[in-house]
């Protein structure tokens, strides 16, 4: 099910760098109406909470189109900024979470999505209270996947490293115009025992996907991207946390956990051993604090 929200529920406030002046002028006329946004949360909460295989929703036309057009216009290419590059049997993608490398529109969008009014919208929608944003954009920010890239089915890291708070929600804003089914790149949501994919969400322009993260919220886009050469799957990712969990789903801290689909065999990836692999977490955190890192 795709839900259409009325546009112009979010405003952008930036410095206009690298953005057409006419777009800046149009965006300056938008502003948040918190009551309208919160009512949308109330209207959609049953859809979100009853979704299978775990709570989620895909919402089309989420932002005013001029805002998303401007975000796409400033989205950097593979060689334009210093991307973090993932290249292994489970994930082939680019990521950038450094705020100073975000253009003014994308930076403004992340601020709005971490705002008090938007957090309240998420709490109303999901039923998860006392959500905490992540100004560090750990694991989030801009994501880009080129032709042939992928992201295997996985559950996410469950705690914010520096803050040690619990990850609860993912939000993905897609920036892919004229995206066709045959290009792939669907966000796949799998059932608890990883026997079947129960939902596929095509990453089309101005669609937002929001979903609850647990130890069984298996998701990814595991098939190689088949978009035309020179295209890419672009998204902006934000994650939300709480200080502890009230749903009884606490687990020891872990990084991203990948799983193979039925009949899939992925080559093991060898990672170089690091000093922290041999140091107890409490000592590692103490050393980082002492060194100011």
Among residues of the chain, what percentage have pLDDT more than 90? Answer: 75
Question: What is the pLDDT averaged over residues 103-123?
Answer: 94
Can you give the pLDDT at residue 269?
A: 63
Show the 3-state SS of 141-167: EEEEEECCCEEEEEECCCECCCCCCEE
The single-letter DSSP state of residue 265 is: -
User: Does the structure show a pLDDT above 60 at 11?
Assistant: no
Q: Is 185 exposed, middle or buried (0-12, 13-18, 19+ CB in 10 A)?
A: buried
Can you give the pLDDT at residue 206?
A: 97
Domains of the chain and any CATH numbers = 2-288 (2.60.120.620)
Can you give the pLDDT at residue 279?
A: 64
Can you give the pLDDT at residue 9?
A: 42
User: Does the structure show a pLDDT above 60 at 257?
Assistant: yes
Backbone angles phi, psi at 177, to 5 degrees: -80, 145
Can you give the pLDDT at residue 275?
A: 56
Query: What pTM does this model have?
Result: 0.84
User: Does the structure show a pLDDT above 70 at 200?
Assistant: yes
């Amino acid at each position: 099910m795709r839900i259409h929200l009325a546009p112009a529920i979010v405003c952008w406030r930036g410095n206009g760098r690298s953005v057409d002046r006419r777009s800046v002028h149009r965006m300056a006329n938008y502003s948040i109406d918190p009551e309208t946004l919160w009512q949308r949360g109330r209207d959609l909460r049953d859809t979100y909470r009853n979704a299978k295989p775990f709570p989620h929703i895909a919402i089309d036309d989420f932002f005013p189109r001029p805002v998303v057009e401007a975000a796409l216009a400033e989205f950097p290419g593979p060689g334009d900024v210093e991307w973090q590059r993932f290249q292994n049997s489970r994930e082939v993608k680019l990521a950038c979470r450094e705020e100073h490398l975000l253009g003014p529109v994308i930076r403004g969008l992340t601020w709005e999505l971490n705002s008090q009014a938007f957090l309240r919208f998420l709490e109303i929608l999901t039923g998860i209270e006392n959500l905490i944003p992540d100004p560090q954009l750990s694991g989030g920010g801009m994501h880009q996947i080129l032709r042939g890239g992928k992201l295997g089915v996985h559950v996410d890291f469950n705690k914010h490293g520096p803050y040690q708070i619990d990850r609860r929600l993912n939000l993905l804003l897609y920036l892919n115009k004229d995206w066709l089914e045959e290009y792939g790149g669907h966000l796949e949501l799998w059932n608890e025992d990883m026997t079947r994919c129960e939902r596929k969400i095509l990453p089309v322009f101005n669609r937002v996907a929001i979903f609850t993260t647990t130890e069984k919220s298996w998701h990814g886009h595991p098939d190689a991207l088949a978009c035309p050469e020179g295209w890419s799957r672009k998204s902006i990712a934000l994650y939300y946390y709480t200080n502890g969990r009230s749903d009884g789903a606490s687990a020891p801290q872990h990084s991203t956990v990948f799983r193979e689909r039925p009949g899939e065999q992925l080559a093991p990836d060898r990672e170089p051993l690091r000093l922290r692999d041999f140091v107890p977490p409490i000592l590692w955190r103490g050393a980082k604090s002492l060194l100011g890192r």
